[in-house]
């Protein structure tokens, strides 16, 4: 698969296969972040990061997007088929050196656009209870929590969110 790209003066968004070496920084920093926040009992971090076959993130049902700055991966995310009308977003990440610049929102926007282009009408995603930044981002971007917001996140475990993707002008909604 060849990569596709969108470029601005500061960054470039590319679609790549999961085995592209530019994905490695995303996975390595996610592993460190998850280990720091949750520990790594019995290889749980590696198991989570390798839970799905790479083929699930390939077209036509999935995609991996990276944001590059000067050719270096600084943010990214992926999606896979959740069901016939829903994409599941996974591995949304921003490098610790590039946070608070709107890159996670950019990744979400681009993932949503690509999922919609692939025919998905909705998105499902989860985040962990010790990731308040992700929780706040998803709420700010219109994702609907599938849990009680007043509950202690630690009591809930995984925090699930859903979002219906808006229909394009002149296009019927699939909902």
pTM: 0.85
- What does each of the 175 residues of the chain score in pLDDT, given as a tens digit? 445 555 555 889 999 999 999 999 888 888 888 777 888 776 777 777 778 889 999 999 999 999 999 999 999 999 999 999 999 999 999 988 888 989 999 999 999 999 999 999 999 999 988 889 999 999 999 999 999 999 999 899 889 999 999 886 545 444 4
Q: The domain spanning residue 62 has which CATH number?
A: 3.40.630.30
Number of domains in the chain: 1
Q: Give alpha helix (H) positions in 17-158.
A: 24-38, 44-49, 103-117, 132-140, 153-156
In a domain, 139, yes or no: no
The residue range of the domain holding 59 is: 4-118
**Of 168, 160, 170, nearest in space to 123 by CA:** 160
């Amino acid at each position: 698969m060849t990569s596709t790209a969108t470029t601005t003066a500061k960054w470039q968004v590319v679609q790549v296969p999961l085995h592209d070496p530019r994905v490695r920084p995303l996975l390595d920093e996610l592993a460190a972040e998850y280990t720091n926040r949750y520990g790594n009992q019995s290889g749980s971090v590696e198991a989570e990061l390798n839970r799905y076959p790479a083929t699930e993130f390939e077209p036509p049902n999935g995609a991996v997007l990276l944001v590059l700055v000067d050719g270096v991966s600084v943010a990214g995310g992926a999606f896979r088929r959740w069901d016939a009308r829903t994409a599941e977003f996974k591995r949304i990440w921003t490098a610790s050196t590039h946070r608070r610049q709107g890159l996670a929102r950019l990744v979400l926007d681009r993932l949503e656009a690509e999922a919609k282009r692939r025919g998905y009408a909705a998105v499902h995603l989860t985040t962990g209870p010790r990731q308040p930044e992700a929780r706040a981002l998803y709420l700010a971007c219109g994702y609907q929590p599938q849990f009680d917001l007043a509950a202690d996140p630690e009591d809930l475990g995984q925090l699930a969110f859903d979002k219906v993707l808006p229909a394009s002008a002149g296009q019927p909604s699939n909902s």
